[in-house]
């Protein structure tokens, strides 16, 4: 396992209307800054990317609050700016990135939670900016945390059209498109600019947890075999949805060599997010 690890997908807030609190309780987590940083130290996670958690209703934590939380982390956390599908929100996100050069490491689009697809024209200005600044765009793909999510918009294959049009845009499929691992694997194989993270795949100690973990490890390992390498797979937890211990245990179970595990745990994220 890598001596130092990067967690490319973390959530945090200090609000009572944070919709991820229920996942934290399922996992027995306090879900606060001290716990997160302490766990990262114990697990040898040197850096993390902080994304807005969803709030009760349809909104996400304001990006300004994400940046403030990162500044309290002594350089351990770096912000990812969430971009909602309206011209006003796109312009506000780009203004924030411009005002915080070097701090913002990526953007995030909440496919499945918002009423827009990845190739919606509303995001064109975002993609233009991301390409010009070499900033990746993360997309929620696959299953949604709430039953009201739109799977037709969060299916990983919906990113194929965007990747075809924008070969210079670095695209990261969050959650490996779960449960459509093979479709996500095809996208990472087909497109040089498409990556996938393994965040948020395990929650709580439920029935068949051991069998499910084995199934996940097999699916991710097979995706690596399909692509012929592990260059496109990025480690993430989705804290508090998945505990660091469970996410690291999943990497240990992968049937790939130790050098590929190191790429997954740190080297790929270092390259993609320029950390």
Please give the Cα distance from 43 to 29 (Å, whole number). Answer: 15
Residue 206 above 90 pLDDT? no
Kindly state the average pLDDT of the residues 187-199: 97
Mean pLDDT, rounded, of the chain: 96
Question: What are the tens digits of pLDDT across the range 103-131?
Answer: 999 999 999 999 999 999 999 999 999 99
Please confirm whether the linkage preceding 179 is cis (ω < 30° from 0). yes
For the chain, the farthest-separated pair of C-alpha atoms sits apart, in whole angstroms, at 47
How many degrees, rounded to 5, is the angle at CA 137 between CA 273 and CA 91? 115
Please tell me whether residue 17 adopts helix, strand or coil conformation: coil
Residue 58 confidence (pLDDT): 80
Q: Which residues, at least 6 apart from 163, have a Cβ–Cβ distance to it below 8 Å?
A: 169, 171, 187, 190, 191, 193, 194
Residue 78 above 90 pLDDT? yes
CB 229 within 8 A of CB 18: no
Please give the Cα distance from 251 to 261 (Å, whole number). Answer: 7
Q: Would you say how long the chain is, in residues?
A: 275
Kindly state the average pLDDT of the residues 180-188: 96
Tokens of 240: 């508090």
Domains of the chain, first to last: 5-273 (3.20.20.140)
Whose tokens are 């969430």? That residue is: 82
Question: What are the tens digits of pLDDT across the range 47-67?
Answer: 999 999 999 988 999 999 999
**Residues facing residue 49 across a β-bridge:** 78
Residue 79 above 80 pLDDT? yes
């Amino acid at each position: 396992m890598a001596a130092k690890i990067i967690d490319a997908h973390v959530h945090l807030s200090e609000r009572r209307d944070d919709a991820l609190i229920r996942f934290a309780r399922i996992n027995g987590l306090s879900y606060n800054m001290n716990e997160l940083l302490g766990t990262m130290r114990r697990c040898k996670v040197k850096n993390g990317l902080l994304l807005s958690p969803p709030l009760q209703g349809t909104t996400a934590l304001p990006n300004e609050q994400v940046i403030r939380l990162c500044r309290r982390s002594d350089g351990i956390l770096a912000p990812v700016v969430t971009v909602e599908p309206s011209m006003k929100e796109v312009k506000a996100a780009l203004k924030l990135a411009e005002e915080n050069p070097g701090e913002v490491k990526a953007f995030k689009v909440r496919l499945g939670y918002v009423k827009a697809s990845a190739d919606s024209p509303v995001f064109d200005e975002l993609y233009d900016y991301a390409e010009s600044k070499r900033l990746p765009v993360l997309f929620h793909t696959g299953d949604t945390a709430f039953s009201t999510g739109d799977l037709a918009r969060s299916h990983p294959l919906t990113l194929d059209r965007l990747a075809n049009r924008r070969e210079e845009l670095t695209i990261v499929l969050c959650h490996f498109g779960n449960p459509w691992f093979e479709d996500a694997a095809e996208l990472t194989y087909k497109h040089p600019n498409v990556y996938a993270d393994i965040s948020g795949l395990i929650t709580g100690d439920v029935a068949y947890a051991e069998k499910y973990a084995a199934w996940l490890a097999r699916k991710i390992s097979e995706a690596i075999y399909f692509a012929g390498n592990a260059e496109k797979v990025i480690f993430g937890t989705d804290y508090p949805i998945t505990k660091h211990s469970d996410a690291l245990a999943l990497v240990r179970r992968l049937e790939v060599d130790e050098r590929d595990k190191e790429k997954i745990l740190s080297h790929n994220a270092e390259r993609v997010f320029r950390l």
